[in-house]
Amino acid sequence: MPSLQRPHGNALVRGGLTFALTLFTGSALAGWVLAPNLIANQNPSLESGQRAIHSILERAGDQAAAEISRLGGEAVEPLWDLVASGEWPQKSGKPDRPERVSEAHMASILGALSLLRDPYALDRAQRALASTEDGAGDRVTALHVLATIGKAEDMPLALALGSAPVGKLQRAIDFWFGKAVMGILVRDERGYASLAEAWEEAVSPTIEGTLLETLREVHTPESLELLMGRIQAAVDPNPAALTSLYRLAAELPVLPAGLSLTPIQRLLSHHAATIRAKAAMCLGSMDDFESVESLIGLLQDEAKEVREYANLALRRLSGRGFAIDPVRWTAWHRGEQTWWQADGRDALQELKSFDQGKTLAAAFQLSQHRIFASEFVPELVGRLQEGSPEFQVSVCQALGQTGHRAAVPGLLRQLSSSNDRVKAAALIALRGITGRRDSELWALADKP
């Protein structure tokens, strides 16, 4: 029995200040001098600077960030150095073990830089573009900062910072570049349009792989649409883009409405076996029941990879566990088409019956024929909130058997039902369709 209580607290990441605090630069803070105005007694020594900054950061995070930001542009460089090193400066003449900046203090530091974003912190990030390979740590820091403060208009800057190879720090650049792009997309939905607009000129092979993986990790319908646009625009499709597409599509609880799959369908006849195989997986992950016949045809492809991926796609679409057997799949498909013409259309009409018994009988009959789900699931979803709790429970169960993601929005609405049995049935159906945990489903239900 699933838990019918909404989880307490906020288990999901809602902000941009929770990125891992990882030290990527080896630069020490020897010679680091805090801006004079940061020090109450105007003493420029590192010891006084450390005491001053610690004093400010003893306050609550938002309060400390606001207080530091009031110092204006003079605060940016010392804060920048703290982000770069992750350590407080050592006291003069005391080579003690360096003290790491705590996660809470780093969040306040990044919060202050966010408040100083225009123009001070952005100007400092722009200057990092001029860093040579020897000074690539500055670009790492700039990307780290953009991961917290970046907006849609900063996407070209993030792309530029991530593009040039930097030798030993390349892994650090790649990591924080991905975090910067993700931070912008999560914080500002206009970032998708900004990235799409800049892609052709600004995205080099050096960063394309990281971008594709980041779009998958962002896990939104908008990232799927952006990937589709890139595949459609490409003269020669990128296999990595198709991989990101089918993985993302398989993970999303709901697919974007009105998405044209014609560009992917055309790739089933591409000259490269890898492209044909990955296109087959994309169509399976995107619930493209129209392509079932074409996928059956690919079971006789000369390439083993294509046959295997086409079979996996057919299993996902049909709910059947057949092996790579074109004869068996063809017989099954013909049987489904015959049933639809003889009985399926009548069952679809029964869904609209005022007799709830007939409606449920038709619903469970139709739910066994998943490839026609797009024909009947919308009608069945429309009846979710009708009738008695027993009727609603049965409709949830029938929708769960279809495995079709078009049922997800309606089932999520049922989590607001006053009846515990209805909520339980909706949770079980949602778990089966999406593969998500109950806590994740409650969070999806809370989204507007």
169-219, pLDDT tens digit by residue? 888 999 999 999 999 999 999 999 999 999 988 888 889 999 999 999 999
Side chain identity, residue 204: S
Helices (H), 45-203: 46-57, 61-69, 76-85, 103-115, 122-127, 136-149, 155-163, 170-187, 191-202
* Residues 263/228, Cβ–Cβ less than 8 Å: yes
Regarding whether 320 and 236 lie in a shared domain, the answer is yes
Which tops the pLDDT comparison, 295 or 81?
295
Asked whether residue 314 falls in the same domain as residue 378, the answer is no
In the prediction, which pLDDT does 304 show? 97
Both 369 and 437 in one domain: the answer is yes
Q: Is residue 225 situated within a structural domain?
A: no
**Is 148 within a domain?**
no
Output DSSP code: residue 385: T
Euclidean distance between CA atoms 207 and 214, whole angstroms: 11
376 occurs within a structural domain? yes
- Determine what percent of the chain is predicted with pLDDT higher than 90: 60
- Same domain, residue pair 258 and 312: yes
Cross-strand partners of 87: 100
Q: Are residues 297 and 347 in the same domain?
A: no
Question: Is residue 154 classed exposed, middle or buried when 0-12, 13-18 and 19+ CB atoms within 10 A define those classes?
Answer: buried
Q: How far is CA 402 from CA 165, 233, 335, 378, in A?
A: 48, 34, 18, 12
| Cβ atoms of 231 and 245 closer than 8 Å | yes
**Does residue 304 sit in the same domain as residue 351?**
no
Domain CATH number, residue 380: 1.25.10.10
Count of other CB atoms within 10 angstroms of residue 331: 12
pLDDT of residue 133: 58
Give domain status of residue 372, yes or no: yes
pLDDT tens, position by position, 78-99: 888 889 888 877 665 555 677 7
The reply to whether 245 and 297 lie within a common domain is yes
Separation between Cα atoms, residue 430 and residue 437, nearest integer Å: 9
Whether 330 shows a pLDDT value over 80: the answer reads: yes
* Rounded Cα gap, residues 286 and 247, in angstroms: 10
Condensed to tens digits (0 to 9), the pLDDT of residues 253-291 reads: 999 988 899 999 999 999 999 999 999 999 999 999 999
Q: Among 289, 324, 359, which residue terminates a domain?
A: 324
Q: Between these two residues, 22 and 237, which has the higher pLDDT value? A: 237
pLDDT at 312 (0 to 100): 97
CA distance linking residue 349 with residue 395, whole number of Å: 16
Q: With contact defined as beta carbons under 8 Å apart, do 282 and 265 qualify?
A: no
pLDDT, tens digit, 9 for 90 and up, residues 111-120: 989 999 888 9
Radius of gyration over every alpha carbon of the chain, rounded to an integer in angstroms: 28
| Burial of 116: CB neighbours in 10 Å, binned 0-12, 13-18, 19+ | buried
In this structure, are 314 and 355 located in the same domain?
no
Nearest to 177 by CA among 121, 149, 139: 139
**pLDDT reading at 413 higher than 60:** yes
Render 99-127 in DSSP notation, one character per residue: PBPPHHHHHHHHHHHHHTIIIIIHHHHHH
Assign 35 a pLDDT band (cuts: 50, 70, 90): very low
Q: Is residue 38 part of a domain?
A: no
Residue 167 has pLDDT above 80, yes or no: no
Q: What is the mean pLDDT of residues 28-32?
A: 29
Structural domain count of the chain: 2
Does 119 sit behind a cis peptide bond, omega within 30 degrees of 0 on the bond before it? yes
pTM of this prediction exceeds 0.85: no
pLDDT for the residue numbered 72: 82
The pLDDT assigned to 96 comes to: 65
Asked whether residue 371 is assigned to any structural domain, the reply reads yes
* Token pair belonging to 223: 């990232």
Q: Please give the pLDDT value at position 102.
A: 87
Residues 393, 299, single domain; the answer is no
Q: Which residues lie below 8 Å from residue 158, measured CB to CB, with a gap of 6+?
A: 143, 146, 150, 177, 180, 181, 184
In the chain, the percentage of residues whose pLDDT exceeds 70 is 84
Q: Are residues 318 and 349 in the same domain?
A: no
153-165 average pLDDT score:
90
Is 305 domain-assigned? yes
Domain that holds residue 256: 232-324
371 and 294 in one domain?
Answer: no
The pLDDT, as a whole number, for residue 4 is: 63
The tokens describing 296, both together, are 């059956």
Q: When comparing pLDDT for 247 and 70, which is higher?
A: 247
Whether residues 347 and 320 share a domain: the answer is no
What band does 310 get if pLDDT is binned at 50, 70 and 90? very high
Residue 266 lies in a domain: yes
- Residue 87 contacts residue 99 (beta carbons within 8 Å): yes
pLDDT at 18 over 50: no
Query: Where does a domain end: 267, 289, 324?
Result: 324
pLDDT for the residue 53? 64
Most confident of 5-9, 44-48, 397-401: 397-401
Residue after which a domain boundary falls, among 324, 354, 373: 324
